[in-house]
């Protein structure tokens, strides 16, 4: 990212929420479950599966975590009633991991019990490094009790190849992504090329171990590495899926679907859209520039 882009991105917190919302709407399905199901239906018509994420993270009150849990229970009912190809992804801090591990476990257990009843898979998203161990432990614990539970591994973390030993032994369904949080160099690779190499190694290791893998990226270099592994191992389509975020690179999404790969779109919804949307805008300096121009009342820029 250029110095100018970094400046633009670091100015985002100064932008009024109303302006951010206008530009962020492409990344979020809407504020209600009905909005989310409508987007899942459109994606299904394209041939894509979805995973629903109820927005809300870094919560401080127990009642907030219970509201989020209840919204997941409603989402699981709605997915089942619609017959659409979707599952759910949960941010552990949204259900209490930063307040009390037992609270997060209880909320997740309620969601996993409902998911098992409805025949739906549950994934724990991976947040920043203070939560890595707790999230892996929670995912393994829930998988042991409920079965169809997975989590996420981040290619920027130095520890991730090692974590795969334990998760591969448990045959856990893993999403592999680069990682989005700001981490110290002590813990995370900082060089883009090294992260891509590690991404390829992680995908190869988990697929070679015979474990279902969610290949979550919009980076053609990572997609190419994954495709090479899939080809080398002659894997059937049912043993992996590509995953992409709502609003990001619909052309790549179409190309992967047209090539016959399974693909799932991450569909966030809810009233707490702000933190998630700002993370997405930070990944996209050209949109961030539009946002700043929007705040300053300037017309659209050329880029
Ligand atoms: P990269 O950032 O290099 O992007 C590649 C290309 O994609 C860019 O050049 C651009 O064209 C396009 N692009 C990427 N982001 C864009 C945006 N916001 N707007 C427009 N274009 C964009 N992280 C995490 O830490 N924990 C998690 O649980 C998850 N979960 C998750 C689920 C799914 C389905 C996906 C796809 C991603 C995540 N992530 C995540 C986020 C992930 O770690 C990573 O930050 C983003 O996917 C961006 O990395 P890429 O691999 O896409 O490469």
**141-151 pLDDT tens trace:** 999 999 999 99
d(CA 303, CA 300): 8
Q: What is the mean pLDDT of residues 258-269?
A: 97
d(CA 161, CA 237): 24
Asked whether 197 lines ligand 1 (CB < 6 A), one says: no
Q: The whole model's pTM is what?
A: 0.93
Least confident of 40-44, 57-61, 148-152: 57-61
Mind listing the pLDDT tens digit for each residue in 180-207? 999 999 999 999 999 999 999 999 999 9
Residue 58 binned pLDDT confidence (cut-offs 50, 70, 90): low
d(CA 223, CA 253): 11
Catalytic annotation present for 186: no
pLDDT at residue 299, as a whole number:
45
244 CB burial (10 A radius; 0-12, 13-18, 19+): buried
Least confident of 13-22, 182-191, 203-212, 258-267: 13-22
**Is pLDDT of 302 > 50?**
no
Buried/exposed 222-241: b ≥16 CB within 10 Å, e otherwise: bbebbbebbeeeeeeeeebb
| CA dist list (Å): 248 to 80, 134, 154, 254, 302 | 26, 30, 19, 12, 20
Closest ligand 1 atom to residue 216 Cα is 36
The domain locations on the chain are: 29-144+179-191+237-269
Catalytic annotation present for 125: yes
d(CA 175, CA 152): 5
Residue 30 C-alpha from the chain's centroid: 17
Residue 260 binned pLDDT confidence (cut-offs 50, 70, 90): very high
Q: How many CB atoms are closer than 10 A to CB 14?
A: 8
Of the candidates 255, 267, 250, the one whose C-alpha atom is nearest the C-alpha of residue 224 is 255
Percentage of the residues of the chain whose pLDDT score is greater than 90? 79
Residue 30 binned pLDDT confidence (cut-offs 50, 70, 90): very high
Mind listing the pLDDT tens digit for each residue in 227-244? 999 999 999 999 999 999
CATH topology of domain 29-144+179-191+237-269: TIM Barrel (3.20.20)
Question: Measured in angstroms, how far is the CA atom of residue 1 from the centroid of ligand 1?
Answer: 15
Asked whether 249 lines ligand 1 (CB < 6 A), one says: yes
Mutate to test the pocket of ligand 1, among 248, 256, 289 (most ligand atoms within 8 A of CB): 248
Question: Measured in angstroms, how far is the CA atom of residue 61 from the centroid of ligand 1?
Answer: 29
pLDDT at residue 291, as a whole number:
64
3-state DSSP helix/strand/coil % of the chain, to nearest 5: 55, 15, 30
274 CB burial (10 A radius; 0-12, 13-18, 19+): middle
What three-state secondary structure class fits 270?
coil
Asked whether 243 lines ligand 1 (CB < 6 A), one says: yes
């Amino acid at each position: 990212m250029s110095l100018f882009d970094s400046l633009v991105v670091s100015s985002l917190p100064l932008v009024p929420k109303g302006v951010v919302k206008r530009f962020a709407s492409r990344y979020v399905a809407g504020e209600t479950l009905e909005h989310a199901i409508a987007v899942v239906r459109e994606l299904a018509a394209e041939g894509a599966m979805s995973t629903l994420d109820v927005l809300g993270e870094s919560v401080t009150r127990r009642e907030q975590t219970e509201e989020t849990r209840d919204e997941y229970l409603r989402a699981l009912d709605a997915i089942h009633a619609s017959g659409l190809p979707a599952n759910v992804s949960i941010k552990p801090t949204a259900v209490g991991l930063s307040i009390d591990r037992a609270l997060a476990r209880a909320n997740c257990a309620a969601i996993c019990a409902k998911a098992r009843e409805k025949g739906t898979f549950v994934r724990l998203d991976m947040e920043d490094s203070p939560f890595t161990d707790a999230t892996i432990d929670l995912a393994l614990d829930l998988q042991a009790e409920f079965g169809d539970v997975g989590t996420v591994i981040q290619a920027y973390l130095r520890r991730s190849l090692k974590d795969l030993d334990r998760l591969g032994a448990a045959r856990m369904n893993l999403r592999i992504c680069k990682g989005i949080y700001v981490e110290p160099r002590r813990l995370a690779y900082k060089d883009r090329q090294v992260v891509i190499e590690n991404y390829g190694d992680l995908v190869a290791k988990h697929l070679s171990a015979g474990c279902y893998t969610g290949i979550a990226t919009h980076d053609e270099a990572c997609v190419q590495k994954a495709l090479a592994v899939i080809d080398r191992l002659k894997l059937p389509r049912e043993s992996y899926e590509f995953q992409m975020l709502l609003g990001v690179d619909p052309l790549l999404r179409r190309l992967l679907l047209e090539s016959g790969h399974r693909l799932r779109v991450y569909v966030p919804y809810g009233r707490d859209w702000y933190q998630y949307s700002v993370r997405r805008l930070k990944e996209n300096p050209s949109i961030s520039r539009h946002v700043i121009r929007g705040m300053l009342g300037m017309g659209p820029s050329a880029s």
